[in-house]
Each structure stands twice: as structure tokens, then as C-alpha cells.
Structure 1
Amino acid sequence: MDTLRIGIVGLGRLGRVHAENIACKIPGARLTAACTTRPETVEFARQLGVTALYTDFDRMLSEAEMDAVAVISTSSEHCRQIAAALDAGKHVFSEKPLGVNLEQCLQAQAAVERHPELTFMLGFMRRYDPSYAYAKQQVDAGVIGTPYLVKATGLDPEAVVEDAIRFCKNSGGIFLDAGIHDIDLMRWFLGSEAEEVYALGATFKHPEFRQAGDDETGLAVFRFANGAMGSIHVGRTCPYGYHVETEIVGTEGTLRISAVPEKNLARVYGPGGVRAECVASFPERFREAYLLEMQEFVDCVRTGRRPGTTVYDGVRSTAVGYATTEAWRTGRPVKIHLP
């Protein structure tokens, strides 16, 4: 296959990142169609050279000239669209989370298993971030001995909290929405599956989250099958920017990734002292990771190689996220049963 023709569904903040990467930055890929229900995104698609524009996903599947679909829509639509695209004979890249409940995820898994001839890849892009990929190489090489604890922090900026409030009703809850990447990374770094979780949530600033049945911040602690531990702190009201960091503790050392979430290597010296600017958003922090993961998807389709992130990663991470949500809602520890 010389050129992979890709259609995209969803042109929100992250959808625009993927659309621009496909259209402008990835050799061997071409953006041929787009599905969006937001009128303000139509002109953006046209600027990328897309002329096949749709408001109905199923119509795009049946009419557009494309070999693959990038599913970047709202989380509750992912699994339905994944199954429909695979059944239509299209390769599929899907953003996280795989689904907002386990039943949806298992339906997507069944669709992937029905079509072993097609490529499916889930967008756990942090695995492709150079810093995280390097840390994984060091863990696998035994540099820090046996890893037994992963501590993760993921805080979205207050600057986009209104978007978070609007989205939270359909997000599956703060742990599925904001913690799914950290859950996947814990599994990845520790080489084990979570068996039990205890979680808490709180809302101090924006009561709209509680009114929607959600929280603005959350904390969860995990016990893994091999005896290792994990913790995640997620939030939506970070006052200074987008703060993501991960610490992996082992018997012989520790790895820290993005301990200071800096925008660049510059320092501002002024009356208030020395200041380092913080990254403003996840598209900025993981710009290279989003490009590398989509390049991996395109390369896998064109060469027949299987991606490193699979539907099973999505199912298991979602099962953990769902159990974490149950623990948060009930205030009790929850045993995690993986399918």
C-alpha cells in the first residue's frame, strides 16, 4: 500500500492535532474524509484539503474513499464506531478510553477479534513519548532493579475547566477520563495487573462537577498481582498549567519523568525571582507522542506489523478504571476482576 487513506471522526481539540498530523506530517498517509457535528470545525478540515465532509459517521463509512478510520469522537461513541468501521473493512486507530464501561469494551474486543486481517491500535500515546519510552527501556534493562511502586500525577489546567465541565457528563467519570493513561502506564511499567483499588474524590472550586455526578480531583491507590503498588492523583483545576509527572520506584533506584512540567529550557529572571513557564495543555506536552503514535499506526497498516498497544490494553485499563470509579463512588476498596 503506497498511501493510506484515512478518514477521521471528531475534530475537537485532540481531533485537530491528529487531523493535522495525518494531513501534513506523516509520510504514506492522506486525510481524505472527516466527520464532525461542529460547524466551526468544517473550515479547519477544508484548510487541510479535505473535501469529503460528513455529519453522519455511518454515511462517511459507506461513501468516503478511505482505508482506515481515526476515531477521535466523544468517549461514549468509541466502541460503536470502532465496531462499525472494522465491520466495514477499515483499519482503525482509536483514542482513549476504549469505552466508558466494560460491556462496550468487550463489544469492541469482539469486533477486533472478528477481523484479524485488519489493524487496530489504541491511542495510549504516552508509551510513544520519548521520555516515557526511555524510562521503559531503563526499567526493562534493570537499571532501577525491580519496580515496585508507580506514582502518577495528571492535572488539567484551570484555563480549560469550562470544557471539562461540559464534557464530564459523557466522560465516564474523572478516573476513566483523566486517569486512564496513568492506569495503562502502571500496568506497563510494573508488568502486572491491578487487583484492588481504593479511591477518593473532592470538589472545592467548581460545584458543577458534583452536580453532574463527577468530581474535580481524585486520588486512587492500587495493589498489583505481583505485590507492587501504584497511586494516581488526577485533577481538572491546576492553576499554573498542565502538570503531568510519573515516578517509578525500584529496589535499586528511581526514575522520574517530567518532575518539573516545563514549557522549555528558558528561565525568566525578574522582580518576582526566577520563573520557569509551565506547559499549557496536553497537545503541547505530548505533541511529539501524538505524531509518533499515528506514524506507528500508519506503518503497521502498510507493513502488516502489529501495534504495541492493543484492544486488550484498552479492555484491561478500562476494567481498572471502572473499578476505580466504583471505589470512588462507594468509598470502599474494590477487588478488580479482569475479563
Structure 2
Amino acid sequence: MEPIKAGIVGLGRLGKVHASNVQNYIKDLELVAACSVVPEELKFAKESLGIQKGYESFEKMVDEAEIDAVIIVSPSSLHTKQIEYAFAAGKHVFCEKPLGVSLPEIEQVKKVIEARPEQVFMLGFMRRFDESYRYAKEIVESGEIGKVTLVRCYGIDPSSGLESFVKFAKNSSSGGLFIDMAIHDIDLVRWFTGEEVKQVWAIGNNFAYPELAEYGDTETGAALMKLKNDAIAILVSGRNANHGYHVETEIMGTKGMLRVAQEPEKNLVTIFDDKGVRRPCSEHFPERFKQAFINELTEFARCIREGDKPDVTAKDGLESTKIALACTKSFETGELVALEDE
């Protein structure tokens, strides 16, 4: 059976991860076209991945390339427009998080997606496809730890990327820390509890790079959330983990609790030397979630083949963005923010 032919837009750090995964690990997908406004990225696509058709215009790629699906890994502010264009052209779409940075635009694109049920749309919340998180989800759903009362999440990028992020924040429209990073943990809260959030209070600081405040962003942020069933969620997001890439989730229930990745261990190796006894840590998200990224695009291809619907939907993107924007508003105003009921 011939692989599903796809085009990708955006070949930055994560775009390269997805593109390389498709070409090397996902037999049911094949990238035949790539789009980027950066010449070096198109050169990478051609020379390293064998993608011969390169485009500077997303619309031109969708119109001219012989593709059935599009993988969107472009800046967050472009997502909704690109999804709409691809859907209008009859393409299946995988889009990285967030779905967008503006609620009216997200609500509009959600309508576009739902109006074409024959086309597959999937949003890139890759942690749902990590084996450890999936195992934890099974435990929670089995009732083994009882009713979930509190979820605590840490999501902190390595310090090695902080300086480049400051430059990115100055010139980007990522939406800020809560949209760009905490949205993964927000999705986990919704996924594990099956509940929506009704109140948030968020704070943050900029100690290593105070200039981030000038760009409306924050280096370390925390949010306290009250869910509709009165369960609690606590999120900590940041850009400054000196030991590596730190992602940790704790779920407390009425009968027990569980933790996922309490320590960001790279592997099972323990080193004994003049520095003592130590365990190497994961250095970045492509390493920690390597298999999860492969799993999610494998699922995308399966849904196209079988006419199935992915579990991650446009509604998940909308609700998570609502919560992230409420966190941003709370951070900016210093006030408790209530989310409106639908």
C-alpha cells in the first residue's frame, strides 16, 4: 500500500523532529513537499530528508503539491488560517499545539473542522501518546487511586535554551509562557480528570532575563486552578532548568497517588565518579518525548487510512487555549480569573 503523501509547513526545531520522524519511522506517511520562509530549512528538507518540492508559500504548496495531508508546525499565530486553507482544499491536517492564540479564530476554525467530518484533524498534544502517561491514564481510569483530587505539573525547559528563547520572544507571537508551554499541562489536567477549569490565578517572575517582561512574557510561571468539580490543579512552567528538561506530573486521589517522571532521567544509567553518584537527565523535549512524537503521527496516519477520528480534537485545543489565556490574563492583572460557562 502506498504511503499517504503529505506536506509540512515549518521546519524549525520541532518541525525538523516531525519531518525526520515521518521519513524515518512512519511507513504510512511520506513527506513529498515542505514549506518554509527560511532558505536553510528548505535546503535541510531537500538534502537531509529527500523532500524535493520546496515552497515559500503555504497556499502554493497546498494548491500545487500532490498531497493528501498537511503537517502544520508553523508559528502559533498562523495555525488557524493554515488549517482553514488546507481544509478548504480537502486535505487532512495535523497541527501542532496550540490550535491558535485568539479565541474567535479558534472558534471559527473549530466550525470549519466540524463541518468536514470526512477529513481528519488532529492536534499535537504528544504527551497523550507517551507510554508512561498512557499507563498513568489507565490507572486513573481504573479507579485504582480513587477520585482525582489534585493534579500537580512541572514543565520546565533547559537553561541552555533560555538565551535563544529571549530572542524568540522579542520577535514572535507565541502567546507567552502559558499558551506556549503550560498548555501541555493544561491538556493533561483536562485529560486525566475529565473536568473543565472554572477559576485560575497565575503569577510569574523574570530573574535570569528581566527583559522578558518587556516582551510580555515570563521566565517562570505558576498557576493555581479550581476545576468545576472542585478538584485542584497546580502548574509550574519555566525556561530555566539547569539540570536539563524537567517534566513531571503528580496525580493525587482519594485512594492513592501516582507520579510520572519525578526525576527527568535520561536512561537507566547511574554514574559513580568524583562528583558522587548521579543519573544523567534528558536535555530537551525531542529526546524525552521521541517515541510520543512518532506515536502521534502514526495515529494520524491510521485515522486517515481507517476513516477514524483522533481522540485529540479541536475542542481540546479550544478549551485548553481558553484556560491558558485566562492564566495569561491573571498573570497580567494579578487577579483571580473565572472562566465563563458555555
Structure 2: state its 5+ residue gaps.
Answer: none
Partner of 1:237: 240
SS in structure 2 opposite 1:247? strand
One-letter code of the match for 1:269? Answer: F
* Structure 1 stretch displaced more, 220-229 or 34-43: 34-43
One-letter code of the match for 2:18? Answer: H
Q: Structure 1 residue 71 and structure 2 residue 72: aligned? A: yes
Equivalent position to 2:285, from 269, 282, 286: 282
Separation in structure 2 between the aligned mates of residue 206 and residue 39 of structure 1, nearest angstrom:
30
Partner of 2:14: 14
Q: Within 5 Å, which residues of 2 pair with 1:65-104?
A: 65-104=66-105
One-letter code of the match for 1:200? Answer: I
Q: Within 5 Å, which residues of 2 pair with 1:1-339?
A: 2-46=2-46, 47-168=48-169, 169-337=172-340, 339=342
Separation in structure 2 between the aligned mates of residue 158 and residue 201 of structure 1, nearest angstrom:
17
Separation in structure 1 between the aligned mates of residue 341 and residue 66 of structure 2, nearest angstrom:
38
CA distances 1:93-138 after superposition (whole Å, capped 9, x unpaired): 0000111121121122021022111000001000000000000000
Does the 8 Å CA contact 1:83/1:107 hold for their aligned counterparts?
no
Please give the TM-score of this superposition, normalised by the length of structure 1: 0.98
CA distances 1:223-248 after superposition (whole Å, capped 9, x unpaired): 00111110100001111110000000
Deviation at 1:338, TM superposition (A): 5.3
Instruction: Give the percent of matched residue pairs that are identical in Structure 1 and Structure 2.
Output: 47
Does the 8 Å CA contact 1:83/1:111 hold for their aligned counterparts?
yes
Separation in structure 2 between the aligned mates of residue 337 and residue 131 of structure 1, nearest angstrom:
33
Please give the TM-score of this superposition, normalised by the length of structure 2: 0.97
Does the 8 Å CA contact 1:316/1:338 hold for their aligned counterparts?
no
Separation in structure 2 between the aligned mates of residue 32 and residue 59 of structure 1, nearest angstrom:
14
Does the 8 Å CA contact 1:86/1:111 hold for their aligned counterparts?
yes
Separation in structure 2 between the aligned mates of residue 226 and residue 64 of structure 1, nearest angstrom:
48
Deviation at 1:3, TM superposition (A): 2.1
One-letter code of the match for 1:305? Answer: D
How many residue pairs align between the two structures? 339
One-letter code of the match for 2:38? Answer: R
One-letter code of the match for 2:177? Answer: I
RMSD: 1.1
SS in structure 2 opposite 1:170? coil
